[in-house]
A and B are shown apart, each in its own frame.
Chain A
Amino acid sequence: MSEWWTYTIADIKSFSLETWYRLFELYNRAIWPAQIAALMAGLAMGSGLHLPHRGPGRHTWRSRVIAAILAACWIWVAIVFHAHRYATLTWSARYYAWGFGIEAALLGWVGVVRGRLLLDRAGDAVARAGWWLFLFALFVHPIAGLLFGRTWRQAEVFGVAPDPTAVATLGLILTAAGRVRWELLAVPLLWCGISAATLLSMRAPDAWIPLAATVVAVLLATWKTLARRRGRARRRDNTG
């Protein structure tokens, strides 16, 4: 792109805010009652994380199930939302669909096949913050839009809409024990950035949601990464 410095966030706008909200209204009408199933899946994932785990084997099995449900949500959004619905407004939706498909594959590989995603909401401070981010995406995000001019028919629901699905994923990945799973955070972070830019270009009042989720997730993940490095260095010093 020549003279790229002359482009502003307004230049990425390709449809109006009214059209964006109508997109969700028509989408929600078309997929009803999939939203209920998605919310039930979210509740099941939350319940799975909330209940105390009994032994490492049970813990791994439960995390695999949560990762599988999450991967299914990403596939749904990739195909049903991006490829079939959002693609009627922008050619870039086909690339978003691929991105969401890649995230689903990563969740399937890391979380389900290899079982490397051990989710524990009561772990460290970052895990507890991730848990609250997940709850926000599940319960607050769908109704937050109502405060900013959307109708309930235009609500974005976890599991079937991209933003709450990405925010919930950020939260869940942050609850994982061990190192920060940046490879699983990359796509949701990228999507939240794209979504925030798209909403800002339309001066959408709810643009702060994906923007804040991106900032919070990056800060938490960076803090945890640095804390683990410091911990390793301290241990090396002690053993040395």
Chain B
Amino acid sequence: MVIRTLRAAPLSRRALLSSLAAAGAASIFRPRTASAQGVAILTRPIPSTGERLPLVGLGSWITFNVGDDPAARDSRAEVMRAFFHDGGRLIDSSPMYGSSQEVIGYGWNRVGRPSQLFSAGKVWISSGAHGPGQIEESRRLWGVPRFDLLQVHNLMSWEEHLPTLFAMKKAGRLRYVGITTSEGRRHDEIEKVMRSQPIDFVQVTYNVLDREVEDRILPLARERKIAVICNRPFQQGALIRMVERHPVPSFAREIDCTNWAQVLLKFIVSHAAVNCAIPATSRVDHVRQNVGASFGRLPDEPMRRRIVAHVQAL
């Protein structure tokens, strides 16, 4: 896999050096690659294999559903170009997201089909018998030879889909299997699947204000060695709109953040059980800010509590 020269968030040389030191000190992280400036993207291993993934991925809900609008498709391709350029890998989508899969396929082709793509698709259909057909259609739309990860979207008919996904994985037609939910729904069932099925990934909603998963899901993921993807990091934009009415807190510098998006993302990915947050955006400057949260120092536990207290007080 090749990661191009990395473009980090704007950081001072001193901050960069201390960031690298912090990243090196944390045993869970190691520099994935280094650019000419020596900036490393922070990664965390997928527990089931040890393969490392950058801490920030790219969601596609709403933002990549632009239909056949040629200008919007080109603009999303540029978002993908910036994402890959800055070291991003995981892109998440679903058949539920309208034209998003097709637009991702268009963008991936347009930017030269970089091999670093970690394709995280979903199966979302009530009939288990129709699952393979939907998966094949999704694969065709993405234009990938096979998915890296397939997740049962919102646990829809998971009893029927998971055997299909496990069979695909066994046959080498899929690398990882997962399940998803959002907005804190069906956590009891999520736990049941995590305890009973050999899944590699679980995707849940987690952000500085929605922290229900800290109680049971995230500890269980560590215990069962399941990788965690966090959706809705900005509460569909509501959280970022709320905090951006206020100045970025001064303590953001201590964790190498220059904007609110990075503070919010670093809060999420600094949880030891979390592998990746997947903010969605339609803007190149925003994707650069987001991926920037994969660089530099991460908040420790006191700093995490400080971020929560600060945001709650706004």
Contacts from A to B (Cβ < 8 Å): 2-3, 6, 10-11, 13-16, 19, 22-23, 26, 85, 88-91
Say yes or no for B253: interface residue by CB 8 A criterion: no
A90 to B66, CA, bound (A): 10
Q: Out of A3, A6, A19, A26, which one reaches B65, CB within 8 Å?
A: A19
B interface, over-half SS: loop
Give the Cβ gap from B287 to chain A, nearest Cβ, in Å.
16
Interface centre among B62, B67, B96, B282 (most CB of A within 10 A): B67
Residues from chain A with Cβ under 8 Å of B98 in the complex: 14-15, 88-91
Please measure, in the bound complex, the distance between the C-alpha atom of A90 and the C-alpha atom of B61, giving whole angstroms.
12
Q: Which of A14, A23, A88, A91 contacts B62 (CB 8 A)?
A: A14
B216 within 8 A of A: no
Is B63's CB under 8 angstroms from A88's CB? Answer: no
Q: Is the CB of B185 within 8 A of A19?
A: no
A2: contacting residue among B61, B99, B184, B185, CB under 8 A: B185
Q: Give the nearest-CB partner of A88 in chain B.
A: B67
Q: Do A89 and B65 touch (CB < 8 A)? A: yes
* B97 & A14 in contact (Cβ 8 Å cutoff): yes
CB distance from A236 to the nearest CB of B (A): 51
Interface residues of B in 119-155 (CB under 8 A from A): none
What secondary structure prevails in chain A residues at the interface with B?
loop
Q: Which residues of B contact A10 (CB under 8 A)?
A: 236
* Cα distance A13–B66 in the bound complex, in angstroms: 13
Q: Are B62 and A13 in contact (CB under 8 A)?
A: yes
Chain B residues positioned under 8 Å from A13 (CB to CB): 62, 236
CB under 8 Å from chain A, chain B span 144-192: 183-186
- For B185, give its contact among A3, A88, A91 (CB under 8 Å): A3
| Whole-angstrom distance between the Cβ of B227 and the nearest chain A Cβ | 25
Q: Smallest Cβ distance from B135 to chain A, in angstroms?
A: 16
Q: How far is the CA of A14 from the CA of B186 in the complex (A)?
A: 21
A185 to chain B, nearest CB (A): 30
A214 to chain B, nearest CB (A): 25
A16-B236 contact, Cβ under 8 Å, with A22-B69, A89-B99, A90-B98: no
A22 touches B184 (CB 8 A): no
Which one, A6, A15, A85, A91, contacts B66 given CB within 8 A? A15
Given contacts A23-B67, A23-B69, could you give 5 more A-B pairs where the C-beta distance is less than 8 Å? A14-B97, A22-B66, A22-B72, A88-B67, A88-B98
**Closest A residue by C-beta to B182:** A11
**Chain B residue contacts of A22, Cβ below 8 A:** 66, 69, 71-72
A6 lies within 8 A of B72 (CB): no
Alpha-carbon gap, A5 to B111, bound state (A): 42
Residues in B233-275 with C-beta less than 8 Å from chain A:
236
Contacts of B236 in A (CB 8 A): 10, 13
Is B285 interfacial (CB-CB < 8 Å)?
Answer: no
Q: Which residue of B lies closest to A4 (CB)?
A: B185
CB neighbors of A among B69-86 (8 A): 69, 71-72
